[in-house]
Structure 1
Amino acid sequence: MNNRKLTGGALTRRNALTVALAVGLGFTGVAFGQATTGTIFGTAPSAAGQTVQVTGSGVSRKVTVGQNGRYTVSNLPVGTYTVTLSNNGEVVSTHNNVSIAVGSGTEVDFNTAANAQELSQVQVRANALPSIDVTSVNSSTVITASDLEKLPVGRSAESIALLSPGTVQGSGYFGNAVSFGGSSVAENAYYVNGYNTGEPYRNIGGFQLPYGSIAQQETLTGGFSAKYGRSDGGVISQVGKRGTNEWHFGGQIAWTPRFLRASPKSEYMPTQSLPAGFTHQAGYAPGQLNRYRAHDKGWQTVYSAYVGGPLIKDKLFIFLAAEQTKNKYTSTSSRSLSQVSYYTTHRNKFYGKVDWNIDDNNVLEGTFLQSDYNGSDGTFGTGIGATYNYDYNTLKSGTFNSVNTQSADNAKIMIAHYTSYITDNATLSVLYGKGDFQNPAYWGSNVDPNIGIINNQNRATSYADDASSRTKGLRVD
């Protein structure tokens, strides 16, 4: 047991304010900032009066076809759109259900439809390979909400990231953290709706959206620019869902029962003969049961719900999502300690997003994120619950030993994003965010919250129940 005592006063750890200011104009085919949007581009007849209009996801944008017969509509929220070609206000051709991926472009051409004519022979050729996106140099994998409905993956950003080439699971000591191309698990960056949500205290992991509110997740493994700060490894960037002109709501309960889990293998002392001059430790014998693990398993229940729609049609939209994950486990120690610990963990997440289309050329977005955790820090004897003495002769728990050490942390993040479409080829984007992270605090049998921080000057240990880290960020493109 690692019971820690509150011995110091309030201790606040503030991260240095990092302001990334990159001022520029949005030119054709370029993705800006930490990618939360996509682009639709293509070719169309270059006659006078030709325009292309993109509508969908609560957005409507119209651009003029250039003299070279090309057009680009950039900084579009991820989603599905209708793309229409018009000549002096009269519809010439329409493409429906055009989807765009975060940080990339989708090509929609109209020249074929405009130049169609009666032919005596038609030859059809097909290519099973997806078209190459020439608008981006990133090595990335984008998984959409529709993909997540079909793929058997875990309900975490790291599980989704493992679908990307070169990504492997990190050491179990760091939880679900992943490694990109052999880098450290502490060299990754996490983004939600364009803001760095990485946990600044240890830089391992970061805020993740409730699973049902993920619109798209982009995992970058190489080739990405310096705009993704603090990321020598890889980048996990999530874009949350947003409200549309139709109300949608739903919920889900995912239950993983204990009796369907396989039992871990118990551990036994070696049976081979010892070298001359060596003997077994007193109380141990070759082949003796050292750690009984048949009951070391548990259950998990995940509750989730969401609702989204228009507060004012075509103008103001809202999307809300919440998720709670409960785990309950049993952990039996080795014979030398002879204890069994029963513990429970809780993780609550909330995601809220408001989109305001001020007019056709100005959009304001607000995002609120919150995560609360109470339970285990991943070591034996921690988590809500208690530890009992264990009798290895009867393989049953005995008398009460102690209250488990508990850990808790929480995060609150607010993000504001303003986008102004100045001209067809120039866009202004301003993103500001701030986050408050409570560093892991521990409760022992004395029920005093505390957190250990090593002081490099006197090597002493200080404790505080309100230790926290704060981040702020501003980006202008």
Structure 2
Amino acid sequence: MKTTTVSMTVSRWPHAAFRRAGLLVMLAALAAMPGFAQSTSSEILGTVTDPTGSAVVDAKVIVRSLETGIARETTTDVEGRFRVRQLPLGEYSVTVEKSGFSTYIQGPITLRLNQNAELNVRLSVSGVSETITVQANATMVNTTNAEVAVNFESRRVSELPLSIDRNINNLALSVPGVSQLSSGQTGFTSGGPNFSVNGNRLRSNNFMIDGQDANDPSVAGNQQVINNPDIVAEYRVITNQFLAEYGRNSGSVISIVTKSGSNDFRGSAFWFYNGNKLNTLSNQDVNAGYKAVPWRVENQLGGTLGGPVMRNKAFFFASLQKWTIRNIGTGTTLNGAPTEAGRSILQQVGGSRPQVKALLDFLPAAQTPIGRSAQLVAGGNTYQIPLGSITGSTSFSENNWQGSGRGDVRLSQKHNLSMRYMVNDDVYSGSGQATPPATLRRARRAPNPPPWRSTARFLHGCSTSSGCPICA
């Protein structure tokens, strides 16, 4: 799965001829490109006025990340307005400077996915060097569209309860309009929560990680499963009025933004244990005749680490998780296995045949007759093979490795480079399946000043099942 998307926004053109030429260029780009990039950032905008309410022109506005120290600068226009686009999620401070006025500083300002922060700055006249600091957040508004969405920031992601497998998509089940599907319903698949949004099909959900397609190309659902919420910076569910830039699906858009490093080294470690010693019999176990909880041992352990490679310039974030499950199946009853008498007849009549030998080696003798028989014709004779039922259980084991790595580099005042790699290696015993979907993302973001702003991304995803790769 490969996608290349380019996002361009024209904020201001000086002449009508340039506007027409720009429109033609954009139409040509639309025809040539698969689609426009989905935003994984936010912006800070506002106005700067003096004590009388008049606009302050050419005031210097500095937006600085409190986590990475990276700063972006702009100036106010003739109406005192400013806008700083394509800011990664996180906390920022805003400094406004203008000769003859006191320096204004506001923060921390927390940016969420696709939620713009709006500031109304009023500068005070000052004859001496003076700084006014405002400890306050900004008004979070969405001034560009009518999307209906629910955002889960990093703290909510880590604190809200998830299912036993800690699949991050369980967060969507708490969003209005989302209903969970159960096994047996149309579209149900294994490997994660199944849900319908506003009555749409399961396949109508569009999963994205860092602005890139993360849908499974073969079945419904997301290809890259995330069972470690510590790597998620924000989880967003759009249930209505989503923009055409997302495309593809009509039910919902699930957008996940992964964490990046900062100027401080930060990490986490965890170990979750679940087993029969910590559980009790369920009603189903009691009805099935169990006297004790079936044996089960599950361990999920791992951690994350992020920090600077070069302060204020290059950062990394990595995670690793090991997940093992060991249990005994509850048992399956098979009707139609030959009884001991039936096995004797099969051995006598066709024991030399490979098919009969394979059947006798695979199935033990049925202990409970079911009052039925199978008819066998061989050598002109007809034989009745008595049948019965057998019940047995087998052990099950799962070994799962999940890992991720992300790097972010500040190339210049106008260019950022980021790369993310994720891998999920899941092996089940007895099935002969090994399904390691992996995604590799490279993004080059160029937050240029007007009139152009651009983002270029590249994605490769691959899923392998039973040695057969599914990728493009």
TM-score by length of 2: 0.71
Measured after TM superposition, the shift of residue 331 of structure 1 is: 2.1
Q: Say which SS state the counterpart of residue 61 (structure 1) adopts.
A: strand
Structure-2 residue corresponding to 1:67: 78
Candidates 253, 258, 262, aligned match of 2:271:
253
Structure-2 residue corresponding to 1:39: 43
Alignment of 1:25-174 (within 5 A): 25=9, 27=11, 33-45=37-49, 46-56=55-65, 57-58=67-68, 59-88=70-99, 92-111=103-122, 114=124, 132-154=141-163, 155-172=166-183, 173-174=188-189
Change in 2 beyond 3 A, CA 1:134/1:362: same
Q: Give the distance between the partners of 1:104 and 1:431, measured in 2 at CA.
A: 22
Measured after TM superposition, the shift of residue 151 of structure 1 is: 1.9
How many residues are treated as equivalent by the alignment? 366
Change in 2 beyond 3 A, CA 1:241/1:22: closer
Change in 2 beyond 3 A, CA 1:293/1:88: farther
Candidates 359, 363, 383, aligned match of 2:416:
363
Q: Return the letter of the residue paired with 1:416.
A: R
Identity rate, percent = 19
Measured after TM superposition, the shift of residue 255 of structure 1 is: 1.9
Measured after TM superposition, the shift of residue 90 of structure 1 is: 7.4
Structure-1 residue corresponding to 2:322: 324
Q: Give the distance between the partners of 1:334 and 1:368, measured in 2 at CA.
A: 41
- C-alpha offsets along residues 54-83 of structure 1, whole Å, 9 cap, x if unaligned? 111433111111222222111100011111
Alignment of 1:401-412 (within 5 A): 404-412=430-438
Change in 2 beyond 3 A, CA 1:110/1:23: closer
Q: Over alpha carbons, which structure has the higher Rg?
A: 2
Candidates 215, 219, 229, aligned match of 1:211:
229
Structure-1 residue corresponding to 2:362: none
Q: Give the distance between the partners of 2:300 and 2:77, measured in 1 at CA.
A: 51
Q: CA RMSD in A?
A: 2.7
Conservation of the 8 A alpha-carbon contact between 2:3 and 2:459:
no
Change in 2 beyond 3 A, CA 1:430/1:88: farther
Q: Say which SS state the counterpart of residue 409 (structure 2) adopts.
A: strand
- C-alpha offsets along residues 260-307 of structure 1, whole Å, 9 cap, x if unaligned? 334233489xxxxxxxxxxxxxxxxxxxx7675953473432212111
User: Which one is further off, 289-298 or 169-178?
Assistant: 289-298
Q: Give the distance between the partners of 1:371 and 1:93, measured in 2 at CA.
A: 47
Off by >6 Å, runs of 4+ in structure 1: none
Q: Return the letter of the residue paired with 2:293.
A: H
User: Which one is further off, 81-90 or 289-298?
Assistant: 289-298
Q: Give the distance between the partners of 1:432 and 1:293, measured in 2 at CA.
A: 55
Measured after TM superposition, the shift of residue 221 of structure 1 is: 1.2
- C-alpha offsets along residues 404-459 of structure 1, whole Å, 9 cap, x if unaligned? 33432011211111111221563111111111111x32xxxxxxxxxxxxxxxxxx
Q: Give the distance between the partners of 1:63 and 1:223, measured in 2 at CA.
A: 32
Q: Give the distance between the partners of 1:335 and 1:99, measured in 2 at CA.
A: 57
Measured after TM superposition, the shift of residue 26 of structure 1 is: 5.1
Q: Return the letter of the residue paired with 1:108.
A: L
Q: Give the distance between the partners of 1:201 and 1:216, measured in 2 at CA.
A: 27
Q: Give the distance between the partners of 2:90 and 2:414, measured in 1 at CA.
A: 18
1:354 aligns with 2:369: no
Alignment of 1:176-255 (within 5 A): 176-209=193-226, 210-255=228-273
Change in 2 beyond 3 A, CA 1:195/1:92: same
User: Which one is further off, 229-238 or 85-94?
Assistant: 85-94
Measured after TM superposition, the shift of residue 468 of structure 1 is: 1.4
Q: Say which SS state the counterpart of residue 426 (structure 1) adopts.
A: coil
Conservation of the 8 A alpha-carbon contact between 2:118 and 2:141:
no
Q: Say which SS state the counterpart of residue 309 (structure 1) adopts.
A: strand
Gap runs ≥5 in structure 1: 1-14, 117-129, 269-288, 376-383, 385-403, 442-465, 472-477
Q: Say which SS state the counterpart of residue 423 (structure 1) adopts.
A: coil
TM-score by length of 1: 0.70
Q: Give the distance between the partners of 1:415 and 1:54, measured in 2 at CA.
A: 27
Change in 2 beyond 3 A, CA 1:34/1:294: farther
Conservation of the 8 A alpha-carbon contact between 1:291 and 1:334:
no
